[in-house]
Amino acid sequence: MLRKKTVLVALALAAVAVSMGMAPAQAGQSKQVRPPGPADSDVLRAEAVAGQAAARPTPGAEAALAALQAKVARWSDANGHRHSFATYIDNATGRIVLKTDAPGRVVSSLVGADAGRVDVSVTPTTDLYSRKADVPAYWGGAGITATTGTPWCSSGFTVQNSAGTRFQTTAGHCFSNGQTVRTELGGLVVGSVSGSGLASGFDMERIGGSSYWGYIYTGGTNSSTGMPVVGAGDSVVGYSNYCHSGRTTGENCGHTVSSNFAQVCTQTGCKYPVTAFSGGNLPQGGDSGSPFYVKDSSSVWIRGMIIAGDGTTSYAEKYSRISSFLGASIVTG
């Protein structure tokens, strides 16, 4: 499993507050605010003592840190942010710390004559992110919406057309052509919807205009881990350990396929032939569009995309139908 990048916390705070029920006080209500007491004063005193005990920066360290940070920023901007950097003064030693996954020659060019005052650590730093607050390059199995904070559906997996243009898939009943899709939390633009097949009996569409990667989220409903997609094809009837991974129920396996020639008719029309499966913790509302797949300990093979269910049996568009209708092939991670 891999740990990815994450959204800037500031972009997600409002949506996170809403999702956790932290709404503002209603009219006529007042918030109960506890006045500061002895315990608060103790905390503040302890905080001040800790600050006084911290090591002072070594002579010239602050100026050297400012110069290093400026050089790092210029190099990172000029080189596509392909390496991570973290720089600060360690309160225990007063020395400059540089954590990076950049090669030694790059580090040497940045540190220069100040090498003697910088402690270098080969440590990559990543953005924080999650299934519900994804960031580019986008993965499958994430929460997506047309209105920030309102969970509608899940992303499927990444495909590309004959020109190599990448798209993310989702269920055709989730959004209309031309709609802008955003991350469930944070409100980042995932892309614009096109190619909906719903009117023709194909419950699928594509999301384009951003960057997408051949990974899907695995783990729980707010997971920050995923697996690479290494292939795709249709499921096999009788196999009993297929999985789905969506924003509502997270990753769940133990599904058994009973048919690849099922028909399902819902309020958005009839779809045929689709995959019918049961067993395990089945998809629920909001999991529409999420990937249906088989996996081993390190890789995923896409088998379709969740579209419907009745609590006992669930249904997925087959990969072959998705690939054919959208004129696209799987993107691997």
> Which of 33-37, 140-144, 180-184, 327-331 shows the lowest per-residue confidence on average (mean pLDDT)?
33-37
| pLDDT, tens digit (0-9, with 9 covering 90-100), for 156-205 | 999 999 999 999 999 999 999 999 999 999 899 999 999 999 999 999 99
SS3 121: strand
Say which amino acid occupies 298: S
Q: Is the full-model pTM beyond 0.75?
A: no
Amino acid at 74: R
Residue pLDDT, tens place only, 28-63: 333 233 444 555 567 677 767 877 777 778 888 899
Cis peptide before 137 (omega within 30 of 0): yes
Nearest to 317 by CA among 276, 279, 283: 276
**Phi-psi bin for 186: left (phi > 0), alpha (psi -120 to 50), beta?**
left
What residues contact 185, with CB distance under 8 A and at least 6 apart? 7, 12, 15, 16, 19, 130, 132, 133, 143, 148, 149
Task: Tell me the pLDDT band of 305, cut-offs 50, 70 and 90.
Answer: very high
pLDDT at 22 over 50: no
Structural domains for the chain: 61-122 (3.30.300), 138-330 (2.40.10.10)
pLDDT at 16 over 80: no
pLDDT band at 151 (very low <50, low <70, confident <90, very high): low
Kindly tell me if the per-residue pLDDT of 309 is higher than 90.
yes
At 259, is the pLDDT very low, low, confident or very high (cuts 50, 70, 90)? confident
Least confident of 23-32, 77-86, 111-120: 23-32
